[in-house]
Amino acid sequence: MENLHKRILEEGQALSENVLKVDSFLNHQVDADLMYEMGTYFKNYFENHKVTKIFTIESSGIAPTVMTAMQMKLPMVTLKKQGSKILSGDVYQTTVHSYTKDMNYELTLSKKYISKEDNILIIDDFLANGEAALGAARLVEEAGAKVAGIGIVIEKSFQPGPKMLKDKGYDVYSLARIAKLGKGSIEFVK
């Protein structure tokens, strides 16, 4: 996706060989036009996958997921990372390790927002080690539903997540694929 590549190169900051900061348009300040365009790409790729709902993990995946759900005219569900008094009891939960924060959290899905008939598209902001996407897929499959595919805004192709998810049979579609990061340097997969 050319506009996303351009924004990553112009505004993204490679803080290290593994960390890319894109908070000026994706997750602190959000460029709604760019998110809408991302939604169009996800819609076009997944429109024949018989998707019934779109899931994301709070919070950075919400903006592109909302735009995708709007365009596909489908419900969107946000998987929660934080504990909540109103989200107790009838839930599916799984432990996920956050690469960025180097900590574990409980990913939570209310049972009332998924059924065995659902075919779920999962969208997330980054794919590095694959833990978040794999955790979301575990929740979907624990509920007896199917994973229609996994949409990723920025894939770090040099980390193990993309291969692991594809080896497990998931259809992974990434809008930007990073081949290499270095302090001040960003290279895309050719």
Known binding residue 20? Answer is yes
User: CA 154, CA 94: separation in Å to the nearest integer?
Assistant: 23
Known binding residue 131? Answer is yes
Alpha helix positions (H), 48-181: 62-72, 131-142, 161-167
Known binding residue 128? Answer is yes
Known binding residue 27? Answer is yes
- Which of 138, 181, 135, 184 is closest to 158 using CA atoms? 181
Known binding residue 37? Answer is no
User: CA 173, CA 43: separation in Å to the nearest integer?
Assistant: 11
Known binding residue 156? Answer is yes
Helix 2-11 with 32-46: angle, nearest 10 deg: 140
User: CA 29, CA 21: separation in Å to the nearest integer?
Assistant: 12
User: CA 80, CA 89: separation in Å to the nearest integer?
Assistant: 14
- Binding-site positions for 5-phospho-alpha-D-ribose 1-diphosphate read 128-132
- Binding-site positions read 20, 27, 128-132, 156
- Binding-site positions for xanthine read 20, 27, 156
